[in-house]
Amino acid sequence: MWERSHASGQVSAVGPSDDDLTQLLTIRAFERKLLDLFERGMLNGTTHTCLGQEYVPVALEPLLRPADHVFSNHRGHGHYLARHRDPEGLLAEIMGRRGAVCGGVGGSQHIRRDRYLSTGVQGESLPVACGVTLHLKRAEPGALACVYIGDGTFGEGGVYEALNLAALWQLPLLVVVENNGIAQSTPTARNMAGTIAGRAAAFGIAHLRTDSVDLDAIRTLLAPAVAAVRQGRPLVAEFATHRLGPHSKGDDTRGAEEIAAAHAADWYPRYAAADPERFARLDAAARARIDAVAADVTGREPA
Per CB under 6 A, residues contacting ligand TPP are 74-75, 120-122, 150-153, 178, 180, 182-184, 243, 247
Q: Residue 110, SS3?
A: coil
Single out the residue of 61, 151, 214, 266 in contact with Mg ion (rule: CB under 5 A).
151
Q: Return the number of the residue (107 or 150) whose C-beta is nearest ligand TPP.
A: 150
**Taking CB within 5 to 8 Å according to partner kind, which of ligand TPP, Mg ion, none is near residue 233?**
none
Q: Return the number of the residue (155 or 232) whose C-beta is nearest Mg ion.
A: 155
Single out the residue of 78, 99, 150, 246 in contact with Mg ion (rule: CB under 5 A).
150
Residue with the shortest CB distance to ligand TPP? 150
List, as one string, the DSSP characters of 211-246. Answer: ----HHHHHHHHHHHHHHHHTT--EEEEEE----S-
266 makes contact with Mg ion (CB under 5 A): no
One-letter amino acid for residue 293 of the chain = V
- Give the Cβ contact number of residue 299 at 10 Å: 9
CB of 112 to Mg ion, least distance (A): 24
Rg (CA), the chain: 19
**Taking CB within 5 to 8 Å according to partner kind, which of ligand TPP, Mg ion, none is near residue 75?**
ligand TPP
CB of 148 to ligand TPP, least distance (A): 9
List, as one string, the DSSP characters of 43-64. Answer: --S-----TT-THHHHHHGGGS
**Taking CB within 5 to 8 Å according to partner kind, which of ligand TPP, Mg ion, none is near residue 121?**
ligand TPP
Residue with the shortest CB distance to Mg ion? 150
Helix axis angle for 267-274 and 18-39, nearest 10°, is 140
Stretch of 11-19, 68-76, 149-157, 233-241 lying at the interface with Mg ion (CB under 5 A): 149-157
One-letter amino acid for residue 139 of the chain = A
**Taking CB within 5 to 8 Å according to partner kind, which of Mg ion, ligand TPP, none is near residue 184?**
ligand TPP
Strand spans (E) along the chain: 69-72, 112-113, 116-118, 145-150, 173-179, 182-183, 186-187, 206-210, 235-240
CB of 123 to ligand TPP, least distance (A): 6
CB of 281 to ligand TPP, least distance (A): 31
Q: Return the number of the residue (70 or 136) whose C-beta is nearest ligand TPP.
A: 70
Q: Return the number of the residue (180 or 210) whose C-beta is nearest Mg ion.
A: 180
Q: Return the number of the residue (207 or 247) whose C-beta is nearest ligand TPP.
A: 247
Q: Residue 42, SS3?
A: coil
Closest by CA position to 262, among listed 248, 241, 281: 241
**Taking CB within 5 to 8 Å according to partner kind, which of Mg ion, ligand TPP, none is near residue 61?**
none
201-207-210 Cα angle (round to 5)? 140
List CB contacts of 244: < 8 A, sequence separation 6 or more: 51, 52, 259, 262, 263, 266
Instruction: Determine which helix (DSSP H) or strand (DSSP E) holds 22, and give its type and residue range.
Output: helix 18-39
180 makes contact with Mg ion (CB under 5 A): yes
23 makes contact with Mg ion (CB under 5 A): no
User: Which residues sit at the interface with Mg ion, rule CB under 5 A?
Assistant: 150-152, 180, 183
